[in-house]
């Protein structure tokens, strides 16, 4: 492997597919060294093979295991530059309202989406304090407004935004910035699972977006790398909405 060219290192969770993989691909193209974490070991291997030549340390792991995340960060340090950023992309979707969700589904959704984000931050924080780096958390438009039938998912993503805001206040004095991304629907494997068996449902939801389409993972990746770069050196405690104006207000598509 070649080195990253001095751009520093980024840790990315949920890196094997979707938004996490897009962040990894763009970061590698821009010369960052990468620490990639995902439960999907085969997916990580495929992604690493496809990335441009760079310093990549890929490790299988579950973000609900804080000790493992700390071990990954410490274990990769001899082979990479210091971390200057982290993007917490690991997440799952769980359908159900408070009457239909099981306790296990509720617990798992919050464990991955919210506690996993918390664990990621704790694992990298000592290095980010050294480098005065930045964190970007993957929230959702469902962390800003409700979504019918997604009680656990909404709660977890609202929690991510609350965590981000508190951390931005706590860590500002030591020079660490924390922000959150709030995408709407994105063309990812998660969206494919949701809409794969019902194309008409996808068409309906695309019609509720003023821009008339779902986002591409690369569009979210660009925003994530902006937030952890020096381009956003005075941005902290912010929610970056990337939803085609879906949460801007009431929208009714004009008839053709």
CATH label of the domain that carries residue 162: 3.40.50.720
Query: Is 234 a domain residue?
Result: yes
Query: Is 205 a domain residue?
Result: no
pTM: 0.93
pLDDT (0 to 100) of residue 175: 98
Instruction: Judge whether 86 and 128 are in contact, CB under 8 Å.
Output: yes
Q: Is 49 helix (H, G, I), strand (E, B) or coil?
A: helix
Query: Is 144 a domain residue?
Result: yes
Hey, how many other C-beta atoms are within 10 angstroms of the C-beta on 250?
A: 4
Count how many domains the chain has: 1
Place of tokens 């974490």: 37
| 178-210: pLDDT as tens digits | 999 999 999 887 777 777 767 778 888 888 899
Active-site option among 32, 150, 153, 240? 153
Query: Is 196 a domain residue?
Result: no
| 115-171: pLDDT as tens digits | 999 999 999 999 999 999 999 999 999 999 999 999 999 999 999 999 999 999 999
pLDDT (0 to 100) of residue 202: 83
Query: Is 256 a domain residue?
Result: no
Confidence of residue 254 (pLDDT cuts 50, 70, 90): confident
| 40-67: pLDDT as tens digits | 999 999 999 999 888 999 999 999 999 9
Domain residue limits at 177: 9-186+217-242
Residue 150 annotated among the catalytic residues of the structure: no
Query: Is 211 a domain residue?
Result: no
In which order are the strands placed within the sheet that holds 9-13?
Answer: 56-60, 33-38, 9-13, 83-88, 134-138, 177-183, 239-242
Place of tokens 């598509």: 253
Query: Is 127 a domain residue?
Result: yes
Q: Give the residue-averaged pLDDT of 15-42.
A: 97
| 57-104: pLDDT as tens digits | 999 999 999 999 999 999 999 999 999 999 999 999 999 999 999 999
């Amino acid at each position: 492997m070649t080195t990253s060219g001095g751009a520093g290192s980024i840790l990315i969770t949920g890196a094997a597919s979707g938004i996490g993989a897009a962040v990894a691909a763009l970061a590698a193209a821009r010369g960052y060294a990468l620490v990639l974490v995902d439960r999907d070991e085969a997916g990580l291997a495929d992604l690493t093979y496809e990335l441009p030549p760079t310093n990549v340390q890929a490790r299988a792991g579950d973000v609900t295991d804080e000790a493992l995340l700390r071990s990954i960060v410490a274990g990769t340090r001899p082979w990479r530059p210091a971390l200057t950023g982290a993007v917490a992309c690991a997440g799952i979707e769980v359908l159900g309202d408070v009457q239909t969700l099981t306790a296990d589904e509720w617990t798992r959704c919050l464990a991955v989406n919210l506690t996993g984000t918390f664990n990621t931050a704790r694992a990298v924080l000592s290095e980010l304090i050294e480098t005065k780096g930045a964190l970007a958390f993957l929230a959702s438009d469902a962390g800003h407004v409700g979504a019918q039938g997604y009680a656990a998912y909404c709660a977890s993503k609202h929690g991510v935004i609350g965590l981000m805001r508190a951390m931005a206040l706590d860590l500002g004095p030591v020079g660490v910035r924390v922000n959150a991304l709030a995408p709407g629907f994105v063309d990812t494997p998660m969206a494919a699972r949701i809409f794969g068996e019902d194309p008409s449902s996808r068409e309906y939801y695309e019609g509720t977006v003023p821009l008339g389409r779902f986002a591409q993972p690369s569009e979210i990746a660009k925003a994530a790398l902006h937030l952890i770069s020096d381009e956003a050196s005075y941005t902290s405690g912010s929610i970056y909405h990337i939803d085609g104006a879906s949460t801007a207000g009431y929208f009714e598509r004009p008839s053709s």
